[in-house]
Structure 1
Amino acid sequence: MPKNPRPKNIGLLFEHYAGSPAPEWHLDIPFSIAPDTRTHDATSLANLVSDMSGRLKAAGLRRGDRVALVKNNHLDTIVLAAAVARLGALPAMITSTFDSETLARMMPRLEPKLLVASEEVLGAADRAGIKLVDKSTRVVCVDGAPDSPSGVTPLAEFAGADVPQPDIVDNSDPMLCTHTSGTTGVPKFVAHSANTLLGVLSKLETLRIPFLSTRPDDTIASCIAFVHSRAVTWTFAQFALPPAKAVVLSQADPSTVVETLSKHRPTTLEACPNIYQLWEHLIRTNPELFTNIRAYLSTFDAIHPSTVRAFMAATKRRGAVWGQSWGQSEIGPATLAVYPKRKVMRSEGSRGGPITNNVGRPIPFVTRIRVVDPETRKPKRRGQRGLVLIRTKGRCLTYLGEPERHREKDWDGWWNTGDIGVHTRTGSLEILDREVDSIPGMSSLELESLLIERLEPVTEAIVLGNPNGLPLPVVSTYDGSPLDPQEWRRATADLPELDEPRVIPWEDFPRTGTWKVRRPQLRNRMLNSEETFGTGRWT
């Protein structure tokens, strides 16, 4: 059973809670590192961390080394990261959705002693003729497939290694690396300490928020990117305020989601905004999955009001709420908005910006907001748009290998988020655009929400600023069919003038590990140009 004080270092987190009776952990698919079961408890997870730390030490990992963890999306990425941190080494959790070329460009910044990756990642690089790391880095395959490229050691080869004693780093030193989404270029490694990550960024998890906080009888399901710092604080939350069940949805595929949630009906559901969009048809085909949900949560990106309304209409819980957290990998959650069901349903067709553009108020005792002029850095008045700055004790330590880029975003102790927004007169924050994606006189986020709301067949909409012409809408539809021209004119009659829409399949939108659309790649494909109205100086 856990004893106080709670450790801040992830390397000690799991064994601190070993023996706790709750939650039961239920997986949609087994871990790569433990392929024989879909269920775990606190003790079995703690044993996995210890086992993996022994294996990694046997593979040559030592205190002060760095490790690249690149595998399919699942909670065992965090288990492996905890095992690395337990040895006093620095884990970097990296999404396997990056192509081999991007991964190879990231590695020199990390200089890993070990690359721990899935066979799929290693095989793709081998087929492309790309060396992910040089000869100084040992390569270990987590799933040990027999057709792994030469020079790769299966993780299973180290099974049975002696479990070392914990040897963690100081709480102020780098403990774990995640990375930025890479929507605007090669991702940056974001280094957090135990103090900044579990010492500060986890505070939102333990705040007692009416209707949103975890209850002992809850079944909490989560479909997020488990390489993100959000996944670390989510994992912490399941131990700190345990529900009855924690359901891990590593796969966004609707058929897998239906199978898992049919067995474990959630009372709280968290997913990335684009995943909710992907699942909207499940409200019609499998409505029973959502009837008992009392709280939804979305993070990572803006979510469209029409998506929120669709899921809120599906639950039978009268007091249901939707929580939206806004922040960045570098600073963690900066604001929280809670939308009651009644307010969400009444917002349809209302004038003004989409309700979900208002991302709420700063996290109490953690963050402060300032909106400034991008050129002069002078504060804007409440209600005026500008560049959003955040002050928080949970800010990351540095960008690994790129300290100058980190310093450029530090404006006298305030973190430049690179987002354009409005600090309202009531103290909340409205997000309008990324600065690099901004379009003069409008908000692409608002336009995209309106297009999805007004055009029933549309499942995704991205509006690309075009300095050489009209803004270009790129959309997908349920069945891939073209949009009706009359419906398009009706839906856009009161909007700024837009170019003719281009329809592409949903799966053809280039996406990050958190399913955000990579706008630069989409712009290059659609417009054959990388030119934008924004400067991109703070991405």
Structure 2
Amino acid sequence: MSTQEKPWFKNYPEPTARQLNYPDHSLPFFLEQAAREFPNREAIHFMGKRLSYRELLHDVYRMANALDTLGVQKGERVAIMLANSPQAVIAYYAVLILGGVVVQTNPMYKERELEHQLSDSEAETIICLDLVYNQVAKVRPRTSLKRIIVTSIKDYLPFPKNWLYPLKLKKDGLQVNVPYGSDDVYAFSGLMKKALPTPVECRVESMEEIALLQYTGGTTGLAKGAMLTHRNTIVNVVQCGAWMHKGERGKEKVLGIVPFFHVYGMTVVMNYAVYMAATMVLLPRFNVDDTLKTIQSERPTLFPGAPTMYIALINHPDIRKYDLSSIEACMSGSAPLPLVVQEKFEKLTGGRLVEGYGLTETSPVTHGNPIWEKRKHGSIGLPWPDTDARVVDLETGEELEPGGVGVIEVKGPQVMKGYWKREEETAKVIRDGWFNTGDIGTMDDEGYFYIMDRQKDLIIAGGFNIYPREVEEVLYDHPAIQEAAVIGVPDPYRGETVKAFIVPKKGQELTEEELNAYCRDKLANYKVPRLYEFREELPKTTVGKVLRRALLEEEKKKLDASEEAEKSVENR
């Protein structure tokens, strides 16, 4: 099938070209361009603190010069473990403008998860929040870390919030004593004060040089680092701009709640906002009341998010007291978008809410429903410009005709270079430029794609990817557990939630409360099972492999029976 014959082109938004032009430079060029063309335009609003593009660029130069003084080299991996904040944006672009490689790290990670990521990436520097310093310090001896740069949320809060913030932490028992000035531990604010905003120029080969190691998990092992080049990230940002064709440079406001340590938030919020010289309205975490107040006061035009966010908002008891009419477009990702959520949210805002699709390995977006043109509920939409997609047979790998069900594969300039230090695993998923998504789906005759199931046992809860094997390994470490299996079960709010099936060792007794406390100590909260079921045995194959699929089928039967019982009661 030639480029001209792709069925999705006839449904493309009219202003969006099938093929785009991509500048050949490093990603920070967009920031320098925005600061040059819109120097006084507000770049960041953060809890009352406001930074213009001129000020943001100067702060990025300061941090880049500070990192250079500390000895950070071109190509060196630098971990960033921050919530959405001005520091997260500054650190990200400072590392890239210096020619370093960003390793985005989830601040919710426990020691085990953090140690693996730091060790695997061989990061020598980390920029982190003071609230997670103790975790970083504990794993440091088992990693390559040479220096730790610590910041606090208060560093970019306006008065009197910056004065009140430490008092609140003390009241909540969250105060952390960081040993600044010793053992190569530095204060972010101190480095910024000493450094000059002298422009930094580091030429990179955008097609080849890595900008990011973005970690993604798998059911067959620990998280892998997807090597995303400057070209990959630039391409996806330009594609995003072309798809949201009604956006105007220097005029938009993007609500930044999706975390920047997640590739979706990094591209569709942070990088896109900078590309468009838009204002980033940042919140460090999702809170329904704070989000509603922020939308009403700051009037964002774009709101990228996950279905759980929209669900929480439309179900807020005082939702109609807030004016949400500024929102013009929302791209929902990370999980399926229920139709009722889409319809209610659009009625409340007057804007458009559509579903898209992507993966860490594709920077991340590959598909999206047209925002203002024809869309289809239940579909992930059409392949983006310069992106090819197909459905192939599970067994033969041959391309299927429209309507056929198989594995979705994609090809495009946003597809990663490969997995960091894992050539064999890279070869398994990328063949002749085609990336195997691992998702089972279909394409209709108009070129709209649909996800039917997941080839892997990936669980998506509240927009977060959860990998059963990782949770199972933690459970197996419990001295009273003989066997464990983890699956995702339907959840009306989170999309899916984690359920663990436990076989205790003979003579051992376990409770849900005990396991919950145990898991919360070893896993990020979103990975902790919400449901437990104790059994004498688990279903297995003849060679002893646990059949997760059998457990999923059992849960489906229970759900179907429950729904039938409810219908029976209603019909009486």
Q: Please show how residues 313-324 of structure 1 align to structure 2 within 5 Å.
A: 313-315=347-349, 317=350, 320-324=351-355
**2-side partners of 1:183 and 1:5: how far apart?**
31
* Alignment correspondent of 1:379: 399
- TM-score (structure 1 length as normaliser): 0.72
Contact 2:119–2:143 (CA under 8 A) maintained in structure 1:
no
Rounded Cα–Cα distance in structure 1 between residues aligned with 2:491 and 2:65: 49
Instruction: Report the counterpart of residue 11 of structure 1 in structure 2.
Output: 28
Q: From 262, 269, 272, give the equivalent of 1:228.
A: 262
Q: Quick check: 1:156 aligned with 2:177?
A: no
Match of 2:226 in 1: 190
2:367 is aligned, of 335, 347, 351, to 335
Q: How many residues align?
A: 451
Distance 1:242 1:227 in 2: 21
The equivalent of 1:533 in structure 2 is: 549
Query: Which residue in 2 is equivalent to 1:169?
Result: 204
Residue 232 of structure 2 aligns with an amino acid whose one-letter code is: T
How far has the Cα of 1:73 moved from its partner? 3.2
Residues 188 and 523 (structure 1), Cα distance of their counterparts in 2 relative to 1, 3 Å cut? farther
For 2:108, the equivalent position in structure 1 comes to 97
Q: Deviations over 1:274-294 (max 9, x none)?
A: 222232333743553323433
Name the residue aligned to 2:37. Answer: 20
Q: Which amino acid aligns with 1:10?
A: L
Deviation per CA, 1:11-51: give whole Å up to 9, x if none: 3332232243374234343xxxxxxx611111011011101
Question: Cα–Cα, structure 1 residues 42 and 340, in superposed 2: closer, same or farther, change >3 Å?
Answer: closer
Give 1:83 shift: 0.7
Counterpart of 1:483 in structure 2 is: none
CA separation in 2, counterparts of 1:277 and 1:119? 32
Opposite residue 453 of structure 2, the aligned amino acid is D
* Separation of aligned partners in 1, 2:136 and 2:432: 42
Give the 5 Å matches for 1:428-467.
428-437=448-457
Distance 1:527 1:430 in 2: 35
CA distance in 1, matches of 2:424, 2:408: 20
Following superposition, the deviation at residue 404 of structure 1 comes to: 2.2
Distance 1:427 1:476, change over 3 A: closer
Q: Which residue of 2 aligns with 1:499?
A: none
CA contact 1:174–1:397 (8 Å) conserved in 2: no
CA contact (8 A) 2:430 2:436 kept: yes
- Kindly indicate whether the alpha-carbon contact (under 8 Å) linking 2:91 and 2:127 is maintained by their aligned counterparts in 1: no
The question of 1:58 aligning with 2:89 is answered no
TM-superposition CA deviations, 1:45-84 (whole Å, max 9, x none): 1011101101112222122322111122335323212111
Q: Does 1:46 align with 2:57?
A: yes
- 1:359 aligns with 380
Do the aligned partners of 1:28 and 1:251 also contact (CA within 8 Å) in 2?
no
Q: For 1:187 and 1:15, locate their aligned partners in 2 and report how far apart those are by CA, in whole Å.
A: 33
Amino acid in structure 1 at the alignment position of 2:42: E
Does 2:444 correspond to 1:424? yes
C-alpha contact (below 8 Å) 1:107/1:133 kept by paired residues = no
1:263 aligns with 2:297: yes
Distance 1:146 1:91, change over 3 A: same
Partner of 1:285: 319
**Among the aligned pairs, what percent are the same residue?**
18
- Residue 368 of structure 2: SS of its match in structure 1? strand
Q: Which runs of 5+ in 2 are unaligned?
A: 1-20, 156-174, 469-483, 495-511, 539-545, 551-572
Which whole-Å CA distance do the structure 2 matches of 1:292 and 1:359 have between them?
A: 25
Q: Contact (CA 8 Å) 1:266, 1:289: kept in 2 or not?
A: no
Please name the residue that 1:137 is paired with.
146
2-structure distance, mates of 1:356, 1:314: 19
Counterpart secondary structure, 2:303 = strand
CA-atom RMSD, angstroms? 4.0
Rounded Cα–Cα distance in structure 1 between residues aligned with 2:394 and 2:530: 24
Deviation per residue, 1:358-396 (Å, 9 max, x gap):
0111112x1111111223212223112111100112211
Identify the range of structure 1 (426-435 vs 286-295) with the bigger mean alpha-carbon deviation: 286-295
8 Å Cα contact 1:367-1:390 kept in structure 2: yes
Cα contact 2:84–2:256 (8 A) shared by 1: no
| Letter paired with 2:211 | L
Q: CA distance change for structure 1 residues 373 and 183 in 2, over 3 Å: closer, same or farther?
A: same
Name the SS for the 2:272 alignment partner. Answer: helix
**Match of 1:105, as an amino acid?**
H
2:357 match: 326
Going by fraction, where is helix more abundant, 1 or 2?
A: 2
How far apart, in 1, do the equivalents of 2:493 and 2:260 lie? 28
Give the alignment partner of residue 207 of structure 1, picking from 239, 242, 255.
242
Contact 2:115 2:143 in 1 (8 A): no
Q: Give, in angstroms, the shift of residue 227 of structure 1.
A: 2.0
Would the aligned equivalents of 1:358 and 1:429 in 2 still touch at CA under 8 Å? yes
Task: For 2:294, give the aligned amino acid.
Answer: T
Can you list the C-alpha shifts for 1:325-353, whole angstroms capped at 9, x where unaligned? 21112113111103669x99xxxxxxxxx
d(CA) in 2 for partners of 1:477, 1:394: 31
What is the SS of the residue equivalent to 2:85? Answer: coil
Q: Are 1:179 and 2:200 an aligned pair?
A: no
CA displacement, residues 458-505 of structure 1 (integer Å, 9 cap, x when unaligned): xx9x9x9xxx99x98454679xxxxxxxxxxxxxxxxxxxxxxxx99x
Q: Which runs of 5+ in 1 are unaligned?
A: 30-36, 345-354, 439-443, 450-459, 479-502, 535-539
Q: Secondary structure at the match of 1:186?
A: strand
Cα distance, 1:217–1:262 mapped onto 2, change above 3 Å = same
Deviation at 1:415, TM superposition (A): 0.2
The question of whether the paired residues in 2 share the 8 Å contact of 1:178 and 1:228 is answered with no
